[in-house]
Amino acid sequence: MNAIFSSPRRPARYWSAFIFAAPLWFAAAPAGADSYGDRPDDGRASETAAQIDPFDPVPEIGRDDCRDRDCRPSEHHAPSHRPPEMPSISGHPTLMVDCSGQRRDMFPSLQLAARSAPPNATILVLPPNEGMTCRGTVFIHVPLTIATYGGGDNAVIQAPPGRPCLVADIPLGDTLNIEDVRFVARGGDAPCVVVQAGHVVVRHSSIDSRTTNWAFDVRESGDLAVEATHVETDRSGVRAWRAHVDLHGLDVDIDARHADALLNLREADCTSEDSADIRVPYSEDSQDEEDDAQGDAHGQAHGDRHEHASPAPADRDSKDRRDSVQGSIGLALECTDGVVDAGNIIGGAVGILASTGTHGLQIKDANVRRARTGILLLQGQLGSIDVEHPVLSKDTNGVVVAPGAESQVTGAVITESEEAGITVYGTDSLISGNKVVGAEDGIRLFAAGAFPPPYFAGEFSAQPPLSNDDGVKPIVENNLVANVRHAAVRIDGRVQGRMERIHGRVIGNTFYARHAECIDDKYNDDPVETRANTCNKSWFSWPF
């Protein structure tokens, strides 16, 4: 017999024992055992995992049954560079982030997850009560969704001093969605959220940007949409330059100490070449990125000591000269199109500063309180600015319309203004259907050359479009002006010792001026057309 098939004889009891034990031996083997070793992860989630709702409280995802093994983290179980993807949402991969670095099946920093995520992926971040605050600047270059995991507190992203919280520079037409996230930026001139390019949507979030310039900074190629988000700052809320905005329910609280700050307009118009935006873009630095990642994993930002994308001194000086608007401002929308709807702004030198781009800007149902100037409209490009149904209270001046700002203000309710409810500086504006109650002057029609007023510092380069002998003609009609101290409508053409003609119409208004004048036009050489106005020498009961 061939030796290969030969075997020593075994006792019959040996074979019977083997036959009896074999079933027990195979049954004891682990269900997932594979004679070829562990198979590589193919990236597909199981059907059970795919049914997990990622917004439910954390169900200890990825933690298997340790049984007799030691599951405690050690140097042999350090987090891998790319943890496995979680169940997909809407057909796109989902990545989990634990900025405490304690879970080896999650990314230890938001920046590492953003760098590893494919386009349209979802990144879910554990909040501090389950993980830790994520520290460091996050750079986004592909369309993503970033949200808080779980039903408790929001995840927190904290910027290093002098650097942004997040920089979005994604392809035009793509979208970055941010939901239920809290941003914190302290002690620096960098804005908190920078939109360099692409469409950014922020929902149900908050920004704490005390001692930091601008909670949002939207560049020329940026598009910002905000829903139900709160900004708390002692400087400014949103700056947009030649961008597009869609702001719904954005609340901005400005520290009361800065409410009376002077606003330096400089060259805050869209027509001057010198007003071009030359802000230095933020770029991702590999060394700083790695430092930030380590800082997230260990609870401290080692990269804080680096100046990130700092411009050279000459560039910094030039940037300071060209920054068109300074001062505490709720919304600074320069040469910008879009919609501002139903927001609340408290305090600041200006609540809303707006100049339109080529398509137009609509401001409706905005609520501005205790600002030096509630709404300031400046000269823009081809579009017009429509201000509909704003509510302004206890502002020094309610609405100020600068020369060349093609606009209309309708349905406003302006109460308890220290100086004037609405002031128009020699421009074609429609002022209609407004209620102005309690002010020195209800509505002022001033000469274009009188702009800017003393409480605006610096030089203003916009020129009124005086292209014919008749000049511009503001229209004031169907307004209610009551309880004024000097005049319901004041028409004043004085400019540095000379007179400018003011044309226009004041028609069909109702005035309540118990101890004041209904229309004061003694400083206008060419009287404005006034007719069908009702002048009541009594006190108006307010509110109704």
94-112 pLDDT, tens digit per residue, is: 999 999 999 889 999 999 9
Predicted local distance difference test score (pLDDT) of residue 295: 42
- Where are the extended beta strands (E) located within 359-428? 361-364, 367-369, 373-377, 385-388, 391-393, 397-401, 407-410, 413-415, 420-425
Query: What is the arithmetic mean of pLDDT over 263-274?
Result: 58
Look at residue 210 in the predicted model and tell me its pLDDT.
82
259 pLDDT more than 90? no
For the ranges 25-29, 69-73, 164-168, the maximum mean pLDDT occurs at 164-168
Burial code of 479-497, b = ≥16 C-beta within 10 A, e = fewer? bbbbbbebbbbbbbbeeee
- Give the model's pLDDT for residue 469: 45
Half-sphere exposure of 123 (CA within 13 A, CB side): 30
Pull the structure tokens for residue 450.
């009188």
Please report where in the chains the tokens 């700002």 appear, as a residue: 405
Is residue 105 domain-resident? no
Q: What is the pLDDT, as a whole number, of residue 306?
A: 35
3-state secondary structure of 35: coil
Q: How many CB atoms lie within 10 A of CB 408?
A: 17
pLDDT attached to residue 285: 60
Number of domains in the chain: 1
Residue 134: closest CA among 118, 147, 150, 116 = 147
Average pLDDT over residues 232-251: 93
**pLDDT per residue over 181-208, tens digit each?**
999 998 777 899 999 999 999 999 999 9
* pLDDT at residue 294, rounded to an integer: 41
Q: Which residues pair with 239 in a beta bridge?
A: 217, 332
In a domain, 133, yes or no: no
Does the residue 300 lie in any domain? no
Write the DSSP assignment of 354-367 as a string of letters: E---SS-EEEES-E
Residue 370 CB: number of other CB atoms within 10 A? 20
Q: What is the rounded CA–CA span in Å between residue 432 and residue 411? A: 7
Which tokens belong to 482?
A: 């009551």
Close Cβ partners of 367 (under 8 Å, ≥ 6 residues apart): 342, 343, 344, 345, 390, 391, 392
The answer to whether the beta carbons of residues 385 and 404 sit under 8 Å apart is no
Q: Residue 530's CB: how many other CB atoms inside 10 A?
A: 17
Q: DSSP label at 188?
A: B
92 in a structural domain:
no
> Could you tell me if residue 241 is inside a domain?
yes
pLDDT score, position 281: 74
pLDDT over 80 at 162, yes or no:
yes
Question: Does residue 351 lie within any of the structural domains?
Answer: yes
Q: What is the mean pLDDT of residues 473-493?
A: 96
Give Cα separations from 253 to 13, 436, 542 (angstroms).
88, 24, 27
Most confident range, picked from 65-79, 80-94, 296-310: 80-94
pLDDT value at residue 508:
97
CA distance 183 to 423: 37
As a residue count, the chain comes to 544
pLDDT, position 81: 53
The confidence score (pLDDT) of residue 82 equals 64
Span 345-352, mean pLDDT?
93
Q: Find the farthest-apart pair of alpha carbons in the chain and give their distance in angstroms, rounded.
A: 133
Candidate ranges 42-46, 154-158, 493-497; pick with highest mean pLDDT: 154-158
Q: What is the pTM of this model?
A: 0.78
Residue 319: strand, helix, or coil:
helix
**Domain holding 393: CATH number?**
2.160.20.10
Residue 355 reports pLDDT greater than 70: yes
Residue range 64-83: average pLDDT? Answer: 44
pLDDT at residue 466 greater than cutoff 70: no
User: Does 312 have pLDDT greater than 60?
Assistant: no
- Average pLDDT score, the chain: 78
The secondary structure element, H or E, covering residue 23 is helix 12-28
- Domain assignment present for 309: no
- 334 φ, ψ to 5°? -100, 125
- The 10s digit of each residue's pLDDT in 396-415 is 999 999 998 999 999 999 99
pLDDT at 366: 97
Q: Between 264 and 135, name the one with better pLDDT.
A: 135
> What is the per-residue pLDDT for 189?
79
User: pLDDT confidence of 503, banded at 50, 70, 90?
Assistant: confident
Contact 472, 500 (CB under 8 A): no
152 contacts 128 by C-beta, under 8 angstroms: no
pLDDT-derived band at 337, boundaries 50, 70, 90: very high
In a domain, 317, yes or no: no
Range of the domain at 444: 234-268+325-536
Residue 178 has pLDDT above 80, yes or no: yes
CA distance 154 to 152: 7
**pLDDT tens-digit profile of 358-377?**
999 999 999 999 999 999 99
Nearest CA among 423, 504, 509 for reference residue 470: 504
Residues linked to residue 477 through DSSP beta bridges, in sequence order: 432, 507
What phi and psi, each to the nearest 5 degrees, are found at residue 345? -130, 130
* pLDDT computed for residue 460 by the predictor: 61
Q: Encode pLDDT of 119-154 as tens digits.
A: 999 999 999 989 899 999 999 999 999 999 987 899
Which stretch of DSSP H or E encloses residue 48? helix 47-50
| pLDDT for 50 beyond 70 | no
Q: Report the C-alpha gap between 168 and 533 in whole angstroms.
A: 53
3-state secondary structure of 393: strand
Indicate the helix (H) or strand (E) that contains 440: strand 435-446
Of 12-16, 240-244, 317-321, the range with the highest mean pLDDT is 240-244
According to DSSP, the β-strands at 244-254 and 397-401 are: unpaired
Question: What's the CA gap between 84 and 369, in Å, rounded?
Answer: 50
- Six-digit token pair at 170? 């994604």
